[in-house]
Amino acid sequence: MTKTITDVICPFCGTLCDDLEVVVSDDGKQLLEVYNACAIGAEKFLHSQAKDRITRPRMRQEDGSWKEITYDEAIEYTAQMLANAKKPLMYGWSSTNCEAQALGSELGEIVGAVMDNTATVCHGTSLIAVQDIGIPSCTLGEVKNRADRIVFWGCNPAHAHPRHMSRYSIFPRGFFTGKGHKGRKVIVVDPRPTDTANVADVHLQVEQGRDYELLNAFRVAFKGEKLPDVVAGIPKEKIYEAAETLKSGRFAIIFFGMGVTQSLGKNHNIDAAIAVTRDLNEYTKAAIMPMRGHYNVTGSGQVWGWLFGFPFAVDLSRGYARYNPGETTANDLLRRDEVDAVFVLGSDPGAHFPFSSVKKIYDRPSVAIDPHETPTTEVCKVHVPVAFVGVEVGGCAYRMDNVPIETRKVVEPPEGMMTDEEFLSRVLARVKEIKGV
Site for another protein in 109-138 (CB under 8 A): 109, 111-112, 116, 120-121, 124-125, 127-128, 130-138
Q: Which is nearer to another protein, 339 or 345 (CB)?
A: 339
Q: Which is nearer to another protein, 1 or 39 (CB)?
A: 39
Helix intervals (H) in 147-229: 157-160, 164, 211-222
Asked if residues 97 and 389 have their Cβ atoms less than 8 Å apart, the reply is yes
- Determine which residue in the list 153, 218, 256, 343 makes contact with another protein, applying CB under 8 A: 218
222-231, Cβ contacts within 8 angstroms, sequence gap of 24 or more: 222/247, 222/276, 222/279, 222/280, 222/282, 222/283
Footprint of another protein on residues 298-317 (CB under 8 A)?
301-303, 305-313, 316-317
Residues 12 and 304: their CA atoms lie apart, in Å, by 21
> In angstroms, how far is CA 403 from the centroid of its own chain?
14
**Is position 142 an interface residue for another protein (rule: CB under 8 A)?**
yes
User: How many residues contact another protein, by CB under 8 A?
Assistant: 160
Q: Which is nearer to another protein, 361 or 427 (CB)?
A: 361
**Is position 404 an interface residue for another protein (rule: CB under 8 A)?**
yes
**Is position 385 an interface residue for another protein (rule: CB under 8 A)?**
no
The residues, ordered by sequence, that sit 6+ positions from 95 with a Cβ below 8 Å of its Cβ are: 11, 294, 295, 296, 346, 347, 389
**Is position 24 an interface residue for another protein (rule: CB under 8 A)?**
no
Footprint of another protein on residues 39-68 (CB under 8 A)?
39-40, 43-44, 47, 50
- Determine which residue in the list 57, 92, 259, 385 makes contact with another protein, applying CB under 8 A: 259
Distance in Å, CB of 72 to another protein, minimum? 26
Residues 404 and 302: their CA atoms lie apart, in Å, by 10
Q: Per residue in 244-267, is it b (16+ CB within 10 Å) or e — as a string? A: ebbbebebbbbbbbbbbbebebbb
Which range touches another protein (CB under 8 A), out of 1-9, 22-30, 71-79, 418-426?
Answer: 1-9
Other CB atoms within 10 A of residue 237 CB: 11
Q: Which is nearer to another protein, 325 or 413 (CB)?
A: 325
Footprint of another protein on residues 146-205 (CB under 8 A)?
146, 156, 158-160, 162, 167-168, 174-176, 191-195, 197, 205
CA atoms within 13 A on the CB side of 50: 14
Distance in Å, CB of 418 to another protein, minimum? 19
Footprint of another protein on residues 323-382 (CB under 8 A)?
323-332, 335-340, 348, 350-359, 362, 372-375, 378-379
Q: Check the CA dihedral 232-235-236-242 and report its sign.
A: negative
Which range touches another protein (CB under 8 A), out of 73-81, 181-189, 280-288, 424-432?
Answer: 280-288
The pattern of x and - marking residues 226 through 255 that bind another protein according to CB under 8 A reads xxx--x------------------xx----
Question: Strand 251-256 relative to strand 285-290: parallel, antiparallel, unpaired?
Answer: parallel
Asked if residues 127 and 229 have their Cβ atoms less than 8 Å apart, the reply is no
Distance in Å, CB of 25 to another protein, minimum? 21
- Determine which residue in the list 26, 65, 320, 416 makes contact with another protein, applying CB under 8 A: 320
- Determine which residue in the list 200, 258, 382, 427 makes contact with another protein, applying CB under 8 A: 258
Footprint of another protein on residues 69-88 (CB under 8 A)?
85-87
Kind and range of the H or E run holding 322: strand 322-323
Distance in Å, CB of 222 to another protein, minimum? 7
Distance in Å, CB of 221 to another protein, minimum? 8
Q: Which is nearer to another protein, 8 or 74 (CB)?
A: 8
Phi-psi region of 129 (alpha: psi -120 to 50; beta: other; left: phi over 0): alpha
Asked if residues 38 and 157 have their Cβ atoms less than 8 Å apart, the reply is no
Distance in Å, CB of 233 to another protein, minimum? 11
Distance in Å, CB of 313 to another protein, minimum? 6
Task: Identify the bridge partners of residue 251 per DSSP, sorted by sequence position.
Answer: 285
Asked if residues 407 and 97 have their Cβ atoms less than 8 Å apart, the reply is yes
